[in-house]
Structure 1
Amino acid sequence: MSWPASGRYRMDAAPAGLGFVHDLLNTIPAGRPRKPDLLAEVADAQPWLDEALAVWAEQTGRPRPEVALTERDLDQVRTLRDELKGLLTGAEATARELSSATLRLDASGRVAIEPRGGGARLVSSLVLIEMLAAQQADTWRRLKVCRNARCQVAFYDRSRNNSGVWHATKICGNLENLRAHRARAKAAGR
């Protein structure tokens, strides 16, 4: 089973539960030909979310939550997506409560964090839990947004030194480097 939104751009998703955050980011309209915004309407968003939650459950070994989205939820999930994209592109975070979670002791004596709420609050809760886990595992810094302004696809940087800036160098990197070369040549009067 693969992540539905990231799969549209033929890329490997972030590992484990961080893949859910990665997939949410890739619900945007991007690519050539332009892929549709999976959060434009509830009729598109619900199937994406159902499939993404199934993959999340498979990847994490946790039970799959049931979430039914409304129009209001959809606005909140789009706002969350935009805020996440902003964080990855250097925008300053706004401190506010997005959701809640429950801490409990599991059978092995470890503290487990579980999402709470319904609709957009549950989606936000899952995203924050996976962000926290990724920050603790030091994998959060590898989730990036393609530097090509016309693209903006989120990708997981698997380079050894975490220096990737394009979701696909052959696609976006070559185009951007060619544009920069032509601009330099034009400025030099060639």
Structure 2
Amino acid sequence: MNWPATERHCLSPAPGGLALVQELLNTAPAGRPGPADLPDLLGDGALGAAQEWADLAVRGWAGETGRPDVHLVLTEEDLPKLRCLRDQVRRALAAGGGGGGDAVRFTSAPVVVGLAGDGTLTVEPEGAGARWLASAALAEGLLAQASGVWRRLKICRNPSCAAAFYDRSRNNSGVWHSVRGCGNAAHLRACRERRRVRA
């Protein structure tokens, strides 16, 4: 289990390093009230769960990108920073990356761009704790934008779900992480509303 936050939604991870961004987004709480709720893996007082999540997610990222595993040590001070980063990435995805409008300054983080002996460029995260995770997530987002796959990382349109999913549809038209679950619920609500309006 390399992507525990994404797997708890029964989703497939995004390809390559973009899975780390999806994984960060899926640490958010989700679900309707009741026993099926998914807790916030980065919530206040959840340092143990956050550290366990980070260990697995970073190991998954290292495996997907061919980099060495990095052991991060998170602190209580890192949790609000990671939640802020998560919320900012969510807003960026919701904005669609179209530019224009009011510019909002989001989190920034340092990266090292290196030139390998074979002429390839690499982007390596810098920092420790939340700073390293921000650096890695933003670097993967930048690489995904450059390769044209950033637009396929989406947030489920069902507000009580809001899972981050990678849209594998041919025309990039997916809006729910699960057509059977969240999609059916939305269609039922719309059908009931149309009946109510007609009545």
Q: Shared fold (TM-score greater than 0.5)?
A: yes
Q: Shorter chain as normaliser: what TM range?
A: over 0.9
Conserved? CA contact 1:11–1:155, under 8 Å: yes
Matched, 1:19 2:19: yes
**For 1:107 and 1:152, how far apart are their aligned partners in 2?**
43
Q: Could you give the per-residue CA deviations for residues 162-184 of structure 1, whole angstroms, max 9, x where no partner exists? A: 00000000000000110011011
Q: Can you give the 5+ residue segments of structure 2 that lack an aligned partner in the other structure?
A: 97-101
Q: Which residue of 2 aligns with 1:73?
A: 78
Sort the Cα spacing of 1:85 and 1:35 in 2 relative to 1 into closer, same or farther, 3 A: same
**For 2:104 and 2:50, how far apart are their aligned partners in 1?**
25
For 2:25, give the aligned amino acid: L
For 1:51, give the aligned amino acid: L
Identify which of 36, 40, 45 aligns with 1:37: 40
Matched, 1:90 2:100: no
Shift of 1:15: 0.2
Identify which of 47, 63, 66 aligns with 2:68: 63
**For 1:181 and 1:147, how far apart are their aligned partners in 2?**
17
Matched, 1:173 2:176: no
Range with greater deviation from structure 2 (120-129 or 107-116): 107-116
Give me the CA root mean square deviation: 1.5
Conserved? CA contact 1:98–1:121, under 8 Å: no
Q: Can you give the 5+ residue segments of structure 1 that lack an aligned partner in the other structure?
A: none
Shift of 1:107: 2.2
Conserved? CA contact 2:47–2:76, under 8 Å: yes
**For 1:82 and 1:146, how far apart are their aligned partners in 2?**
15
Sort the Cα spacing of 1:97 and 1:2 in 2 relative to 1 into closer, same or farther, 3 A: closer
Sort the Cα spacing of 1:162 and 1:93 in 2 relative to 1 into closer, same or farther, 3 A: farther
Shift of 1:93: 5.9
TM superposition outliers: structure 1 runs of 4+ over 4 Å: none
Instruction: State, as a whole percentage, how many aligned pairs show the same letter.
Output: 47
Q: Which residue of 1 aligns with 2:8?
A: 8
Conserved? CA contact 2:88–2:107, under 8 Å: no
Conserved? CA contact 2:85–2:107, under 8 Å: no
